[in-house]
């Protein structure tokens, strides 16, 4: 992300978040950054990516795994529960 984009994001957030929300978010971002430094994302070769896709296609053909629609439904239920919990506080 460019510096200008980051500054725009910062300006938006500082204009919309409460001080306590900004502190919470900054803590979360700092913790996430520290974790990423400890175990950065692995870079894959195209051969590795193709092998993972082949394996996923094999699993789908065998009827293994969870259907896409089911995953999205579960995520939506979890988000709704989180919203309801946050509103209850």
Residue 42 confidence class, pLDDT cut points 50, 70, 90: confident
| Residue 70: half-sphere exposure toward Cβ, Cα within 13 Å | 3
Q: What percentage of the chain has pLDDT greater than the value 70? A: 99
What is residue 3's predicted lDDT score, i.e. its pLDDT? 93
Q: How far apart are the first and last CA of the chain?
A: 34
- Average of per-residue pLDDT values in the chain: 91
> Mind listing the pLDDT tens digit for each residue in 15-31?
999 999 999 999 999 99
């Amino acid at each position: 992300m460019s510096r200008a984009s980051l500054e725009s994001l910062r300006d938006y957030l500082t204009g919309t978040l409460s001080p306590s929300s900004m502190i919470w978010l900054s803590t979360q971002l700092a913790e996430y950054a520290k974790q990423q430094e400890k175990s950065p994302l692995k870079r894959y070769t195209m051969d590795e990516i193709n092998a993972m896709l082949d394996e996923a296609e094999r699993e789908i053909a065998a009827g293994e795994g969870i259907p896409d629609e089911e995953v999205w439904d579960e995520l939506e239920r979890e988000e709704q529960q989180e919203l309801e919990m946050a509103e209850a506080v």
